[in-house]
Amino acid sequence: MKDRTRVQDFDWTLLAIVATICGLGVMEIYSSTHASAMAGMQWRQLTWLGIGIAGMFVISRIDYHSLLDQAPILYICGVAGLLVVMVIGSTHLGAKRWISMGGIFNLQVSELMKLIIIIVLARFFSEVRTDRLTLGDLVKVGALTIVPAALILKQPDLGTAMVLIPVAIVGAFIAGIEWRHMAIGAVLVALLIPVGWNMRHHLKAYQQQRIETFLHPEEDQRGAGYQILQSEIAVGSGGFWGKGFGKGSQNQLGFVPVRYSDFILAALAEEQGFIGVCVVLLLYLGLILRLVDNAQKAKDRAGMYVVMGVTAILGFHVLVNASMVIGYMPVTGIPLPLMSYGGSSTAFVFLALGLVMNVRMRRFVN
Amino acid sequence: MPSWNVNDQKIPQGRLALVSYLSVIFVVLLMVGFWKLQVVRSGHFADLADRNQTRSIPIIAPRGAMLDREGRVLVDSYPSFSILLLRDDPKSLGKSLPQIEEGLGISHEDLQQALDIAKNEPKFQPVVIKPAATQADIAFVESHRADLPLLELLMVQRRRYQHDEMLANAVGYVGEVSAQQLEDSDGHYRPGDIVGKAGLEREYNDQLEGTDGMRRVVVNSVGKVVRTLDDIESIPGKPIQLTIDYDLQAVAEADMAGKEGAVVAMDARTGEILAMVSRPTFNPNDFAVRIPQDEWAKLNTDKHTPLLNRAIQAQLAPGSVFKIVMAAAMLESKAIPASFTVYCPGHANFYGREFHCWRPLGHGTVGLHQAIVDSCDVFFYNVGKLLGIDAISYYGSGLGFGRRTGVDLPSEEPGLMPSEAWVERVYHHKWYAGETISVAVGQGAVTVTPIQLARMAAAVASGGTLVQPHFLKNATNMKTEHFQLSDSTVETVTQGLYGVVNEGGGTGYHLRLQNVDFCGKSGTAQLMSYDAANRLGTKKMDGWFVGFAPRRNPEIVVAAIVQDTLEHGGEAAGPVVRDVVKLYYDKKAARQQQQAGAEGPAQPYASHPLVATVGGQHP
């Protein structure tokens, strides 16, 4: 069978939106860091972007069907990788998340696990031959998701662990979850919150701190509450039109925590104002809608589930990150995809987009 | 082909569309969230952002220096560092306190007190927690910039009293503005401001204190100053030149070392204070930095009252020095002839009570002149009896007793010149005639301050001109009072006072000086009644000497008191007065020699040996 996929069949509209978001991100990284000891960070981010784009092309060439074929092996490898991290992972900032790859770079297995869970759940959902998900199916989906999520939570990395869940939820929704199951799930979550609350003492100190802070931000002004407060000050003081590029005092003087990464939206909100935030949010909305469009045009359900898995993760990232910046959610360390500085997260997003391109290019292929 | 890959199912378009709609709703909700912060509450957050980055650092104005009459620096200021505590973040403040206490060696109580004083001030005003930071303190603050961003260094101006205890009671001291002063100042002062608390520091605080400037700076998240927004320069306080003569002060201080008492030297013509000593005293440098609680308590409860300026605040019986007033009253009132004589057998009986003369064997028959020279008590008992208390009171008050001299120092005491009206007003009974006899020799109810005695002697010798004593050189609006004394009265009294020092047998004969018309009067005040003293076998007395020169229209007048002494005034206090007067004339001679521009450079006055021409020994 002749491979008739062509690069021309990439979703260039989607990539234009992606490029715009990345451009705004690089610009804001430059603005946040150029006057500090971290100057030059934008070049490193551009390097990550380059690597990511290359990865996107590579992954788009491998037929997603063959990837889905290997789903069980990928899943086992992913879980094994997470176990390896627990044993020999290198510790950085109090968390074990990385496997040192011969000193060249540190592989963050949990980022890889995000891609694997997309593929594994896509495979699982496409095996459901009906439009109705049985309770047994739901339990299996839950189990497949919980195992890696629990391992990641153990690292500890609450943010990444949480990110796996929307893939399952969105997938289950599309696969035809029954309304009563959805209702039972909602009730279960509601019941689990108090249990989780009582379990909070088993969390790591910094996780407890973050929850405390989220509930009582005014009581902790130098810790995470300080971060949220400073982020809110940055956003609020930006006003409607913003203070101008490179002129945000909260950003430039370092009051906004990790302003080039997790809180990059706060930095942008301060300097570009409500207008700038709206442009960014609309770009992300465009990205999501375009992704859904790709899902709708997918050749088969498997491809659709792959694209929606990517959509779920990216949408969840944007929602949680933007909510955190304005104090609607606790600090969980979830970056803003495509804008926040960072190698692993940038690489993940482009590999995920590579999966999307993969599905798109093959919509006319038999 | 595996079962999962059978493309037999349609894409569920409806559910996917639902996901799209859900995304739109989420984005709209996020926008509403940003709208709330960036539009609805943007003013509030703009304020917070501003407060985050701007910090106001006061630029402390140096306090004006104090110079002596020849321009020598007595008190000045020098730059030093204070450590400030920023309070805008109460939560981290509470957490950091133990580390700060440890690092800077401040007790928890002191730190808490500093915070309490400022608790009503705006939160963005920092509190001074450690004045006079040491090198180690500064290093501590610098090295903890990141984890203790609420510590700040502030350059301040610290008061320096060049000669420590010298002139301390007159100069006073500075200290941190009190909570009460803060409230009263109507925003003029901030917590931690240094103000004059006593003495000249307080009296001339308005001139001495400058106007602090303010520097507004932009700081980053770890409190490091990034740039200066604006600078309001400080205006240094104005220096004041005092009438004090450092050399005379030094001699008086040296003579009073280890004693209890006071010295006032004054230009008799103008009222310029040349020297003022009070002993025991304190070191005002101890106050320049915040004084420790226990130190302060010690100074305040010390029964020798080191903080009391005895020269203007000690109200004491003048003893025989009061006889100058008695002599003037006797001659001026003309109730008693100038030729009045009394036989002194060493004691006399008035109103059924025995009164003693200081010389138990008596003076024999004495007239006014001899009574002054020998300080005969019996003579003045009789004068007092003949004059009556109201006449004595009239002349005493006229010569400045019982009211403040108006010296430019806070808290001067008025002393007391009793009269019949006073007794009736205060004690609601008639004046006991016997009291008059005691008052006649400066005992009983009459009390004076050393500065009043100096002023009175100057007034008598200059024909009744009462000057206003003052410390400020080139002072204007000095009030001069006239209490007319006839020339013959002045002549007779001053001849007597000249005799005290210059006639053999005078109570101050041992004090006489060559080529100086040095006059004076000794006084010895009993601390308890004669009988009680004899009974207890203690002879502790207050020894006075008031001297001036020359005899008519004197240039310099000096009053000295040595308290709690076993010696009579002539011996205890006389040499102090003589040394000051002698140095005054030595300096004057050196100055004239220099002006004459004679052969070679004039010898500096300081090298003139202080030769006291000691005369006959007085018992």
Name the residue facing A219 among B12, B91, B218 (closest C-beta).
Answer: B91
Name the residue facing B9 among A254, A295, A301 (closest C-beta).
Answer: A301
Can you spell out the DSSP letters for B268-322?
Answer: TTT-BEEEEEEES---THHHHSPPPHHHHHHHHH-TT-TTS-HHHH--B--GGGG
φ, ψ of residue A236 in degrees (nearest 5): -65, -45
Instruction: Please indicate, yes or no, whether residues B218 and B312 belong to a single structural domain of this protein.
Output: no
Q: Do B53 and A255 touch (CB under 8 A)?
A: yes
Closest to B74 in 3D by CA, of B286, B239, B235 = B239
Partners of residue A255 in chain B, C-beta under 8 Å = 49, 52-53, 220-221
Rounded average pLDDT over A93-118: 74
Place of tokens 């984005």: B27
* Domain assignment of residue B211, yes or no: yes
Q: What is the nearest CA distance from A88 to chain B, expressed in angstroms?
A: 33
Q: Is A126 on the interface with B (CB under 8 A)?
A: yes
Residues B484 and B487: their CA atoms lie apart, in Å, by 9
Q: Do B49 and A233 touch (CB under 8 A)?
A: yes
pLDDT tens profile A178-222: 888 889 888 988 887 777 666 656 666 666 666 666 665 544 445
> What pLDDT score was predicted for residue A219?
47
* Domain assignment of residue B611, yes or no: no
Partners of residue A322 in chain B, C-beta under 8 Å = 30, 33-34
Partners of residue A237 in chain B, C-beta under 8 Å = 42, 45-46, 48-50
Q: What is the nearest CA distance from A204 to chain B, expressed in angstroms?
A: 21
* Domain assignment of residue B265, yes or no: no
Instruction: Please indicate, yes or no, whether residues B413 and B314 belong to a single structural domain of this protein.
Output: yes
Kindly provide the ipTM of the predicted complex, given to two decimals.
Answer: 0.92
Task: Provide the token pair at A67.
Answer: 């990837």
* Domain assignment of residue B227, yes or no: yes
Task: Provide the token pair at B251.
Answer: 């001699």
Q: Do A255 and B52 touch (CB under 8 A)?
A: yes
Q: Is B235 on the interface with A (CB under 8 A)?
A: no
Instruction: Please indicate, yes or no, whether residues B190 and B319 belong to a single structural domain of this protein.
Output: no
Instruction: Please indicate, yes or no, whether residues B401 and B496 belong to a single structural domain of this protein.
Output: yes
- Interface with chain B: mutation pick from A173, A237, A252, A274, highest number of B CBs within 10 Å: A237
Q: Do B89 and A221 touch (CB under 8 A)?
A: yes
Q: Is A232 on the interface with B (CB under 8 A)?
A: yes
Instruction: Please indicate, yes or no, whether residues B521 and B384 belong to a single structural domain of this protein.
Output: yes
* Domain assignment of residue B19, yes or no: no
Radius of gyration for the alpha carbons in chain A, expressed in angstroms and rounded: 21
The H or E element that residue A234 is part of is helix A224-238
Q: Is B231 on the interface with A (CB under 8 A)?
A: no
Q: Is A333 on the interface with B (CB under 8 A)?
A: no
Instruction: Please indicate, yes or no, whether residues B429 and B560 belong to a single structural domain of this protein.
Output: yes
Q: Do B42 and A232 touch (CB under 8 A)?
A: no
CATH code: domain of residue B386? 3.40.710.10
Partners of residue B39 in chain A, C-beta under 8 Å = 239-240, 274
Closest to B381 in 3D by CA, of B394, B366, B398 = B366
Please report which residue ranges of B462-611 form alpha helices under DSSP H. Answer: 487-502, 530-536, 569-572, 574-596
A-proximal residues of B, 455-474, CB under 8 Å: none
Q: What is the nearest CA distance from A342 to chain B, expressed in angstroms?
A: 23
DSSP state of B343: E
Instruction: Please indicate, yes or no, whether residues B401 and B322 belong to a single structural domain of this protein.
Output: yes
Q: Is B1 on the interface with A (CB under 8 A)?
A: no
Which of B226, B241, B256 is the last residue in one of the domains? Answer: B241
Tell the burial category of A96 from Cβ atoms under 10 Å away from its Cβ (0-12, 13-18, 19+). Answer: middle
What is the three-class DSSP state of B174?
strand
Partners of residue A127 in chain B, C-beta under 8 Å = 3-4
The angle formed by the CA atoms of residues B119, B122 and B124, to the nearest 5 degrees, is 110
Residues A16 and A25: their CA atoms lie apart, in Å, by 14
> What pLDDT score was predicted for residue B3?
58
pLDDT over threshold 50, residue A160: yes
Which of B223, B241, B259 is the last residue in one of the domains? Answer: B241
Instruction: Please indicate, yes or no, whether residues B214 and B341 belong to a single structural domain of this protein.
Output: no
Rounded average pLDDT over A112-129: 92
* Domain assignment of residue B135, yes or no: yes
Taking the CA atoms of B435, B441, B447 and B453 in sequence, report the sign of the dihedral they define: positive
CATH code: domain of residue B78? 3.90.1310.10
Give how far Cα B406 sits from Cα of B266, B276, B414, B471, Å. 14, 15, 10, 11
Which residue ranges in chain B fall short of pLDDT 70? 1-8, 88-91, 121-125, 222-223, 289-293, 528-539, 598-619
> What pLDDT score was predicted for residue B467?
95
Residues B125 and B87: their CA atoms lie apart, in Å, by 7
Instruction: Please indicate, yes or no, whether residues B225 and B313 belong to a single structural domain of this protein.
Output: no
Q: Is A301 on the interface with B (CB under 8 A)?
A: yes
pTM: 0.69
> What pLDDT score was predicted for residue B100?
85
Q: Do B15 and A315 touch (CB under 8 A)?
A: no
* Domain assignment of residue B247, yes or no: no
Q: What is the nearest CA distance from B37 to chain A, expressed in angstroms?
A: 5
* Domain assignment of residue B292, yes or no: no
Name the residue facing A289 among B23, B37, B41 (closest C-beta).
Answer: B23
What is the three-class DSSP state of B221?
coil
> What pLDDT score was predicted for residue A254?
84
Instruction: Please indicate, yes or no, whether residues B182 and B319 belong to a single structural domain of this protein.
Output: no
Place of tokens 């004595």: B392
Partners of residue A269 in chain B, C-beta under 8 Å = 34, 38
- Interface with chain B: mutation pick from A326, A359, A360, A364, highest number of B CBs within 10 Å: A326
Q: Is A319 on the interface with B (CB under 8 A)?
A: yes
Residues B267 and A305: their CA atoms lie apart, in Å, by 107
- Interface with chain A: mutation pick from B9, B18, B29, B38, highest number of A CBs within 10 Å: B38
Which of B241, B264, B287 is the last residue in one of the domains? Answer: B241
Instruction: Please indicate, yes or no, whether residues B67 and B194 belong to a single structural domain of this protein.
Output: yes
> What pLDDT score was predicted for residue B386?
93
Q: Is B566 on the interface with A (CB under 8 A)?
A: no
Please, which contacts does B86-89 make with residues 24 or more away whose CB atoms are closer than 8 Å?
B86/B55, B86/B124, B86/B126, B86/B149, B86/B150, B86/B151, B86/B152, B86/B223, B87/B115, B87/B118, B87/B123, B87/B124, B87/B125, B87/B126, B87/B127, B87/B150, B88/B51, B88/B123, B88/B124, B89/A221, B89/A222, B89/B150
Q: How many domains does chain B have?
A: 2
pLDDT tens profile A334-358: 899 999 998 888 999 999 999 999 9
Torsion-angle region of B232 (φ positive above 0: left; ψ -120 to 50: alpha; else: beta): beta
Name the residue facing B221 among A127, A170, A253 (closest C-beta).
Answer: A253
Name the residue facing B39 among A68, A274, A298 (closest C-beta).
Answer: A274
Residues B594 and B23: their CA atoms lie apart, in Å, by 101
> What pLDDT score was predicted for residue A58?
93
Q: Is A123 on the interface with B (CB under 8 A)?
A: yes
> What pLDDT score was predicted for residue B415?
93
Rounded average pLDDT over A152-180: 88
Instruction: Please indicate, yes or no, whether residues B234 and B312 belong to a single structural domain of this protein.
Output: no
Q: Is B51 on the interface with A (CB under 8 A)?
A: no
More confident of the two residues A250 and A284: A284
Q: Do B53 and A131 touch (CB under 8 A)?
A: no
Q: Do A68 and B26 touch (CB under 8 A)?
A: no
Give the residue numbers spanning the domain of B173: 54-241
Partners of residue A285 in chain B, C-beta under 8 Å = 23-24, 27
Nearest chain B alpha carbon to A289: B20
Task: Provide the token pair at A346.
Answer: 């940038």
φ, ψ of residue A45 in degrees (nearest 5): -65, -40
Partners of residue B50 in chain A, C-beta under 8 Å = 237, 249
Q: Do A237 and B48 touch (CB under 8 A)?
A: yes
Q: Do A126 and B19 touch (CB under 8 A)?
A: no
End-to-end CA distance of chain A: 9
